[in-house]
Each structure stands twice: as C-alpha cells, then as structure tokens.
Structure 1
Amino acid sequence: MRYSSLIFAFAVVAASLPAACTQAQSIPNKEQQISAALLAAPEPERAEATVLGYDAQGKVVTLREGTNSQICRADDPNQPGFEVVCYHKDLEPFMARGRALREEGKNGRELFDIREAEAKAGTLKMPTHPATLHILAGADAQYDPATNQVTGANYRYVVYIPFATAASTGLPERPTVPGGPWIMDPGTHRAHIMITPPAQE
C-alpha cells in the first residue's frame, strides 16, 4: 500500500509539471527576444531601437530602452507562427491602446470601433505624418536563436496615414500588381498603405 501510494503521489506531481515547465520554456530569454525582434527593423536603426517583449507571465514589457524613433516587438510565444514588428514611436499610443483593449477581451470590429471613436475625439493620439510599421512574419516560419535567422517568413510594410483616402493619396483600394502599394481602411483612423513584396523563392 505504501509503495502504491508513493507511485500515485509521484504521478500526480509529475502530471502537474509539464504545464509549468512548458510555460517557462515557451518564452525565449531576453537576449533571444531582442535579437529576433530587431530583424524587423531597418538595419541602420537596430542598434538604437527600443525593444518590447514578453515576461514569464506573457505580459508585454520593455526589454530595452532605445534612443531613436523605432520600437520593435518580439514574437508573441502564445501565438502560432512567427511575427516580429518594428514601428515608428508615434504609433505607440495606437499600439498600446490595442494591447490594452485586447487584454479586456476586445477584438475585431469592437476594437476597431473603440479606437476609431477615440481617435476622432482626440483622446487617442495618432501620428500627424506617415508612420511605418515593418513586419517580418510567417504562419510556418521558424526562428533559430543560434544563427539569429528566420526561415519561411515574408517582409512587408504598412504605412499609417490616419484618415487618408484613395482620393487624397492617389492609391487604389486593392492591389493592382504583385507587391504594389494600395490603401486599406481608407477614411478611418487606421488608414494605411500596404506594401507586400513578392515572396522570395
């Protein structure tokens, strides 16, 4: 009986370990997060960029304070695939508000409508100039921390121009050639130019 009880107790403890261990191992260390995040930044901007990442609880934290106009964000370990981004610091109020609303359970159209109303009311500060977001991402992309290389990811640009339209920019609302620029969400706080270079073979 004593042996059986010991085996049962061990099994209970062992069963509780994988979840905790998986959580701890799923978040790369600070240096790995910074190195990966900076891959989204233009190379001349990497050394002085601010880097956001994730703590042990999966919360967004500042991993490194920078001195230039760029803010990079590490890959979210709780999301499938791989995505790192880098954007102009004047987009941070917009990005931070999005993070806060998602923590409240807001997504999709509801999140869009809240930020739209706040931007129009002036309580959400949006850039008064074009501001670029760089994205390196792929649904099946893999990051190798040993080489600081990503395979299976594509690079694209998003240039935010709040409340711009096709008429004000001369851009189409749909891509007309592969990799050509077009404007998405025209006339809203989230109006932006999409530029997606063709995937490299």
Structure 2
Amino acid sequence: MKTYIIVMLTLLMVHEGNAQNKIPSRDVQIKIAKMAAPQQFKDGATVYGYSEKGEWTLLKEGNNDMICISDDPQSAGLNVSCYHKDLDTFMERGRELKKEGKTFREIFDIREEEAKSGKLKMPKDGVTLFVYAADEDDFNPATGEVINGQFRYVVYIPYATVESTGLPLSPEAPGMPWIMDPETHRAHIMITPPKNSNSN
C-alpha cells in the first residue's frame, strides 16, 4: 500500500510539473501572439497571455490600436488572435462570462441583451479579428516555432444582414467570404483562406 501511494504521488508531481511547463515563456507568448497581427501592427501591439501560474495577465503594453491574445495553454494546438481595441469590451465580456462557467449559447444571449440595452458597447464600424492557428504537432510551445499555420479573418459588423452585405450564409468556394450570425450584435464576415495558402 505504501509503495502504491508513493508511485501515485510521484505521478501526480510529474503531471503537475508537465502542466506548469506547458505554459510558454513570456517572450514566446508575445512572439506567437503577434503572429496573428498584420505586419504593420506587430511591434506596437498590446499582448495578453498567462503568468507562470496560468493566470490571465498583461504581457506587453502596446502603443497602437491592436490587441493580441496569446495561446491558451490548456487547449491543444495553437490558437492566437489579434483585434482592434474597439472590440476589446466585447471580447473582455466574453472572457468574464466564460470564467463564470457560462455556455457559448448563454454568452451569446447575455451579450446580445446587453448590446441591445446599450450596456455593452459594440463598435460602430467594421473591426477585424485576425486568427492564426496550428495543430498540436505543428507547434512547439518551448520555442514558439510553428509550421503549417493557418489564418482566419473575422470582420465584426453588428446587426448586418445578408441583404445589407450581399453575402451568403455559407461559403460556396474556398476562401469565399460569408456572413455569420446576421441581424445580431455578433454579426460578422468570415474569411478562411484555403488551408496552408498563407502559412508561416
């Protein structure tokens, strides 16, 4: 019994050590977060990520309108994003509700209600979210090296419709833009280039 307990404690310590090691260094987090940003915005972008304890934190104060979010160490693969500061209130509210344990549908409904009431301020003009992602086997969290990464672009245009944009509800060709969640606060144009057409 004593041997069993020792083995289990050892495995637990190894697991905890691996979990802690899974969080990339501050410099690597900044490096990978900025991969999602257009070149002209990279250097001056504000970057958020995670502390050594896994806590949400500011990694780099920027001096332009771009905010970049580093990869969630608890999720497989790489998924980083950058967006215009006017979208930050919307994004931050989503993070708050997710932390409270709300489901995707609950988060959508709460933000929809708050946007309609004016409590949640949405950007008046179209603002863009840039996403860069890669599979787990294509991302090294220790060095920040990525192969076969893929971009995705999301242009938020609150309350836009199929009629107001002339966009379909689904893509009919690779890379074709389409509209998602029309007539809601979260209406946005989706653009997903063909896989590996512009990877790093």
**What TM-score do you get using the length of structure 1 for normalisation?**
0.89
Q: Distance in 1 between matches of 2:163 and 2:115?
A: 21
Q: Distance in 2 between matches of 1:42 and 1:72?
A: 11
Q: Give the letter aligned to residue 64 of structure 2.
A: N
Per-residue CA distance 1:68-122 (angstroms, 9 max, x = gap): 1100111101011210101111111111111110111112211110110011111
1:126 aligns with one of 122, 125, 130? 122
The question of whether the paired residues in 2 share the 8 Å contact of 1:141 and 1:152 is answered with no
Partner of 2:160: 164
The question of whether the paired residues in 1 share the 8 Å contact of 2:77 and 2:139 is answered with no
* Range with greater deviation from structure 2 (68-77 or 138-147): 138-147
1:28 CA drift (Å): 0.7
1:39-188 matches, cutoff 5 A: 39-140=35-136, 142-144=138-140, 148-188=144-184
Whichever of the two has the greater Rg, that structure is 1
Partner of 2:31: 35
Q: Determine helix, strand or coil for the equivalent of 2:124.
A: coil
Q: Distance in 2 between matches of 1:146 and 1:105?
A: 30
1:55 CA drift (Å): 1.7
Q: 1:23 to 1:147 in 2, by over 3 A?
A: closer
Q: Which runs of 4+ in 1 moved over 6 A?
A: none
Over the matched positions of the two proteins, sequence identity in percent amounts to 49
Q: Give the letter aligned to residue 198 of structure 1.
A: P
Say if 2:191 is the partner of 1:195: yes
5+ residue gaps, structure 2, are none
Q: Give the letter aligned to residue 169 of structure 1.
A: T
1:154 CA drift (Å): 1.1
The question of whether the paired residues in 2 share the 8 Å contact of 1:51 and 1:73 is answered with yes
**What TM-score do you get using the length of structure 2 for normalisation?**
0.90
* Range with greater deviation from structure 2 (14-23 or 46-55): 14-23
Q: Distance in 2 between matches of 1:15 and 1:174?
A: 47
The question of whether the paired residues in 1 share the 8 Å contact of 2:28 and 2:142 is answered with no
Q: Distance in 2 between matches of 1:101 and 1:147?
A: 32
Per-residue CA distance 1:43-70 (angstroms, 9 max, x = gap): 1111000001012332321100101110
Between the two structures, name the one with larger relative contact order (CA 8 Å, sep ≥ 6).
2
Q: 1:72 to 1:141 in 2, by over 3 A?
A: farther
Per-residue CA distance 1:131-174 (angstroms, 9 max, x = gap): 00001113445223676431232111000001111111121222
Query: What RMSD in Å do the two structures reach over aligned CA positions?
Result: 2.1
Number of matched pairs: 197
Q: 1:197 to 1:151 in 2, by over 3 A?
A: same
